[in-house]
Amino acid sequence: MTQRTLVLLKPDAVRRGLVGSILSRFEAKGLSIAAMELRTIDAGLADQHYAEHVAKDFYPPLRDFVTSGPLVAVVLEGDEAVEVVRALNGATDGRKAAPGTIRGDFSLSNRENLVHGSDSAESAAREIGIWFPGL
């Protein structure tokens, strides 16, 4: 079933010059870009996006990180896009993510893990509504 999912190429991806390499993987897989924007977010948007994490211990430094510079927000579309993107991203912790995944190949961190992908169709709808209202 064709789905849309929200992907963030986080500030570490922009700082490290990995935006093109990461986007290439999604495009090569067959996913298409439905919307894309470079933007720097404030703490309010970070709190909205990460609503389920705001009370967790790891959240304050995560909020500092995601607001630390420009990121690229992307809506990707394709068959089973939510699950496909999560497989391409790899496990959350870059140190444990499998080689061949984006995090497994390029990240050595649990926080600065380059990419975010919606974790379900319901999350995708919520997150796309936050980042690209009206899409």
Active site residues: 116
Among 5, 41, 113, 127, binds ligand CMP (CB under 6 A): 113
Closest CA to 13 of 114, 116, 117: 114
84 touches ligand CMP (CB under 6 A): no
Considering the rule CB under 6 A, would residue 86 count as an interface residue with ligand CMP? Answer: no
Put the strands of the sheet holding 115-117 in their side by side order.
32-39, 71-79, 2-9, 115-117
Q: Which of 87, 92, 121, 132 binds ligand CMP (CB under 6 A)?
A: 92
Q: If binding means CB under 6 A, how many residues of this protein chain bind ligand CMP?
A: 8
- Residue 62 binds ligand CMP, judged by CB under 6 A: yes
Q: Which is nearer to ligand CMP, 3 or 5 (CB)?
A: 5
95: its two tokens: 């140190």
The reply to whether 39 sits in an annotated binding site is no
Q: Is 68 in the site for ligand CMP (CB under 6 A)?
A: no
Q: Footprint of ligand CMP on this chain (CB under 6 A)?
A: 53, 58, 62, 92, 110-111, 113, 116
